[in-house]
Amino acid sequence: INHIVHNGGLYKRPFNEAFEETPMLVAVLTYVGYGVLTLFGYLRDFMRQWKIEKCQNATEREEQKDFVPLYQDFENFYNRNLYMRIRDSWNRPICSVPGAKVDMMERVSHDYNWTFTYTGRVIKDIINMGSYNYLGFAQKAGTCQKAAAKVLSHYGAGVCSTRQEMGNLDKHEELEKLVARFLGVESAMAYGMGFATNSMNIPALVGKGCLILSDELNHASLVLGARLSGATIRIFKHNNMQSLEKLLKDAIVHGQPRTRRPWKKILILVEGIYSMEGSIVRLPEVIALKKKYKSYLYLDEAHSIGALGPSGRGVVEYFGLSPEDVDVMMGTFTKSFGAAGGYIGGKKELIDYLRTYSHSAVYATSLSPPVVEQIITSMKCIMGEDGTTVGKARVQQLAENTRYFRRRLKEMGFIIYGNEDSPVVPLMLYMPAKIGAFGREMLKRNIGVVVVGFPATPIIESRARFCLSAAHTKEMLDTALKEINEVGDLLQLKYSRHRLVPLLDRPFDETTYEETED
């Protein structure tokens, strides 16, 4: 049963999100699998210590052997004994543009993944289901590339200065005006790295005496930014509005923990699309709560900008809301625009403040000019300002691809997490052996997928994650689906019993929140 939410008219369209519960047998087998691996890990460590087995990791210098050890043995247990076995599923080197099809350099290992050698052969035309190329702007030819080439020959590659000193080019001003227009906000500011945008601006906005309410599954950059700010952090359950409301009420009623003084400000940190779950934030409810409790909202649209909404303006447009309701709209240019960097958009006072006090504006180099040109051209294309309908067509193609792909996978019987409209599709694998096996089998069939396990996900919920793109044609998707079907049968991955837990009935824990204090 799919649970469709129409919460008191806040939602203008059905919100279909589902997380099927892990089947009991699968959970038990997964724990057994990890138990076996751990036992073998201890055995191998024992053999290595007693020199029965050759130790292959790099070791400390002879002259520094009496220094305090740099790494604790136990920290690296997981790395040595579990990660090493399936290390070839990650860091796969490619040698072509990361579009819908990609060329990969073949590498083999003769010593069980401790070292790799490149055979020199290139595996061509692998269907790329791992790169964040939502609107297909990762291209090596076309208007974006030509414009970037022109700017590169005029401006050069680097900037060699910070924004506040001599690094503010006219191109940056042009970009920021365009981003503000695209988002529908008063003003915007662009930064050189998406990760750094979060970790350097959250500390500028909040400090000691403020409260940050952060979602359970927020990205590492948001967590780091929150920690560096010095504010108190409280975590609410993923996308769970009752949990958030309880935290807000308690915060205002009880004030700061020891002194009982009122909080200076409350900032809610959420993401548009959560990349490991494929879920979309319940934005209408969050905005209603934020208005009721007078707090501020920081929305990280790293994955949702360009990918959601009828004209690609992100999760705010997807829900039909006004960008003025979100206090700080943050996003990155890496995913849908095929470039690099991040931005923050909002009211003019906010952006003026960030121009003066953001760590990135004072100490970090500004964006590289050809990258800026790529963003400008691709953004104009999405907005339709370049005179073609290519942008609109791509946004629609992505939405169609998403719905088609998810529907077919669910029909085949896999457990798929997340919202029906999210182009990030996590397919559950659970067992540790299947993580490596899935990645390798798909590569044999010329399809590149991304598999993730602990610690990016909870230990028994490892998954394969597909990122759909507007550049994928229906034939490519069909080929991929056929192969996934085969591999699913081979590895017995079709766990779904079509018994979906309705969202409002998920157990909500009445006790307390988790507070993390540095």
Partner 1 sequence: VQEKEELIEEWQPEPLVPPVPKDHPALNYNIVSGPPTHIITVNGKECINFASFNFLGLLDNEKVKSAAQASLKKYGVGTCGPRGFYGTFDVHLELEERLAKFMRTEEAIIYSYGFATIASAIPAYSKRGDIVFVDEAACFAIQKGLQASRSNIKLFKHNDMADLERLLKEQETEDQKNPRKARVTRRFIVVEGLYMNTGDVCPLPELIKLKYKYKVRIFLEESLSFGVLGEHGRGITEHFGINIDDIDLISANMENSLASIGGFCCGRSFIIDHQRLSGQGYCFSASLPPLLAAAAIEALSIMEDNPDIFQTLRAKCERIHKALQGISGLKVVGESFSPALHLQLEESCGFQENDVKLLKRVVDYCMNSGIALTQARYLEKEEKCLPPPSIRVVITVEQTEQELDKTASLLKEAAQSVLN
Q: How far is the CB of 482 from partner 1 (least distance, A)?
A: 21
Helix residue spans in 263-368 (DSSP H) = 283-293, 315-318, 348-357, 359-363
Pairing of strands 211-215, 232-236: parallel
The reply to whether 61 sits near partner 1 by the rule CB under 8 A is yes
Strand partners, 15: 5
CB of 199 to partner 1, least distance (A): 8
Q: Note the maximum CA span of the chain.
A: 71
**Which residues within the stretch 317-336 sit at the binding site for partner 1 (CB under 8 A)?**
327-328, 332-335
Between 52 and 141, name the residue whose CB sits nearer to partner 1: 141
How many CB atoms within 10 Å of residue 222? 23
CB of 297: closest distance to partner 1 in angstroms?
A: 10
Minimum Å gap between C-beta 332 and partner 1 is 8
CB nearer partner 1, residue 14 or residue 207: 207
Restricting to residues 434-463, name those near partner 1 by CB under 8 A: 448, 450
CA distances in angstroms from 175 to 333, 342, 343, listed in the order given: 12, 12, 10
Window 184-223: residues binding partner 1 (CB under 8 A): 192-196, 199-200, 205, 219-221
Write out the two tokens for 106: 């073949």
In this chain, which stretch among 139-147, 303-311, 486-494, 509-517 interacts with partner 1, using CB under 8 A?
Answer: 139-147
Dist. CA 424–CA 422, nearest whole Å:
5
With residue 225 as reference, give the H or E element that holds it: helix 220-229
Query: To the nearest 10°, the Cα dihedral for 182, 184, 188, 191?
Result: -40
| Range 283-302, binding partner 1 (CB under 8 A) | 293-296
Half-sphere exposure of 331 (CA within 13 A, CB side): 31
Q: Taking contact as CB under 8 A, which single stretch among the options 25-33, 44-52, 67-75, 398-406 is the one that binds partner 1?
A: 67-75
- For 326, the 3-state DSSP assignment is coil
- The identity of residue 385, as a single letter, is E
Q: Which stretch binds partner 1 (CB under 8 A): 17-25, 347-355, 408-416, 480-488?
A: 347-355
Closest distance of CB 512 from partner 1, Å: 17
Q: Candidates 21, 349, 411, 478: give the one binding partner 1 (CB under 8 A).
A: 349
423 binds partner 1 (CB under 8 A): no
CB of 329 to partner 1, least distance (A): 13
User: In the range 11-40, which residues lie near partner 1 by CB under 8 A?
Assistant: none
**Out of 18, 144, 329, 480, which residue is the one contacting partner 1 (CB under 8 A)?**
144
As a whole number of angstroms, the distance between CA 183 and CA 190 comes to 13
By C-beta, is 353 or 513 nearer to partner 1?
353
Binding mask 257-276 for partner 1 (x = CB under 8 A): -----xxxxx----------
Binding string to partner 1 for residues 352 to 381, with x set by CB under 8 A, is what? xxxxxx-xxxxxxx--xxxx--x-------
Please identify, among the stretches 6-14, 153-161, 382-390, 505-513, the one whose residues bind partner 1 according to the rule CB under 8 A: 153-161
- Does 163 engage in binding with partner 1 (CB under 8 A)? yes
Candidate list 149, 393, 459, 504; residue touching partner 1; CB under 8 A: 149
What is the three-class DSSP state of 436?
Answer: helix
Nearer to partner 1, 148 or 399 (CB): 148
From the CB of 3, what's the least distance to partner 1, in Å? 30
Closest CA to 126 of 102, 157, 95, 97: 102
Angle between helix 194-205 and helix 348-357 axes, rounded to 10 deg = 100
Which are the contacts of 430, defined by CB distance < 8 A and separation ≥ 6? Answer: 22, 26, 27, 29, 30, 460, 461, 462, 495
Looking up tokens 């397919």 gives 427
User: Where do we find the tokens 């204090």?
Assistant: 517
Residue among 17 and 370 whose Cβ is closer to partner 1: 370
Nearer to partner 1, 18 or 289 (CB): 289
- Alpha-carbon distance 185 to 245, whole Å? 27
145 binds partner 1 per the rule CB under 8 A: yes
For partner 1, which residue of 18, 82, 169, 286 counts as binding (CB under 8 A)?
Answer: 169
CB of 290 to partner 1, least distance (A): 11
- CA-closest candidate to residue 304, choices 278, 340, 266, 323: 278
Contact 127, 480 (CB under 8 A): yes
Contacts of partner 1 in 39-58 (CB under 8 A): 57-58
Say if CB 182 and CB 196 are below 8 A apart: no
Separation between Cα atoms, residue 215 and residue 213, nearest integer Å: 7
